[in-house]
Amino acid sequence: MDETTPVHLPIELERVIFELAAWLSPKTITTLILVARRVCIWIEPQLYHVVLSTRGTERLQQIMDSKPPEFLRKHIHHLALCGSIPRNDMARILSTCTNVRDLAVWTGDTYPALLAHIRNLIGLQRLSVNLFELFGGDDQFQFPCVDELPFSRLTHLDIFTSGPEDPLSEKLWPIFGMLPCLTHLSFTDFYIPEMVQMALDTCPVLQLLVVVWTDMDEEDISNETSDISDPRFCTIGCPLFQSDWEEGAWGGLDFWRRAEIACKCRGERNGVVA
């Protein structure tokens, strides 16, 4: 065969190569889809696999106006809602993107009616939310019935509050014994030792509990300053919280994974077999 003769790969192998390239480097997807029509068909859906709405609903509205609901329902798996989002837009987004497996609600407006929309996400496995406000907050707190909790499949739950001056109410604590699949739990920017111990004692299959500090350097991991001696517990710094979430959504090294590594290393130093 002449060295100038073009080599034609089997179409199946060609597709695998392009899909792998897009997954390993999501930023290249917009360039790769220009290679050929078939390549665009193969990998364009990966543009919507992870959606981080850093400018409120601007990008989401563009996506929802340009793609049919069936496409969004099928391909949006990781969704982070940030900034100011009107409640009617929240309802539209969550009632359309029902195949979301990883949801972050960072809008500053978490309200009980969201529970109904979250309940529609039947495959939801990861959630980052102000859980106390989701249940009504101080003024209208109402603990849902067990059958109404949309968290039966949750494996990862990140809980935060409205601010350091807003401690989480003990009314919420019973939920930790009602999450049958929860293996990873984090409290972001607050630390209540009694609450941590309660979760460690009552979550039936918990493997990791981490307190995340967004004002700490990423390299800062502390296990020695706490009264909690449980090998499943650690604290970790994560100043770029949104970027960290996106990294994890693409399968990268996020704070969950770094905390797992920290606990494992501590266990090995202390002679504890993981």
Which CATH number fits the domain that encloses residue 200? 3.80.10
Instruction: Give the pLDDT score at 170.
Output: 84
Q: Of the given ranges (56-60, 70-74, 238-242), which has the lowest mean pLDDT?
A: 56-60
Say which residue, 158 or 10, is predicted with more confidence: 158
Identify each DSSP E strand in 135-177 by its residue range: 156-160
Mean pLDDT of 89-97: 91
Residues 36, 74 share a domain: no
CA 265 remoteness from chain centre: 24
H or E stretch at 243: helix 241-249
Identify each DSSP E strand in 5-138 by its residue range: 50-53, 78-82, 102-106, 126-129
Residues 81, 103 share a domain: yes
Residues 111, 23 share a domain: no
Q: Which domain holds residue 43?
A: 8-48
How far from each other are the two terminal CA atoms of the chain, in whole angstroms? 55
DSSP code of residue 132? H
pTM: 0.85
Residues 171, 63 share a domain: yes
Is 160 in a helix, a strand, or coil? strand
Q: CB of 160 within 8 A of CB of 128?
A: yes
* pLDDT over 50 at 26, yes or no: yes
Of the chain, the percentage scoring pLDDT greater than 90 comes to: 46
Q: What single-letter amino acid sits at 189?
A: D
Instruction: Give the pLDDT score at 219.
Output: 65
The angle subtended at Cα 242 by Cα 236 and Cα 195, nearest 5°, is 45
Q: Which residue has the tokens 């969004």?
A: 72
pLDDT tens figures, 145-199: 767 677 889 999 999 987 655 557 788 888 999 999 999 999 999 999 999 999 9
Residues 33, 155 share a domain: no
Instruction: Give the pLDDT score at 169.
Output: 74
Neighbours of 268 (CB within 10 A): 11
* pLDDT over 50 at 274, yes or no: no
Residues 170, 139 share a domain: yes
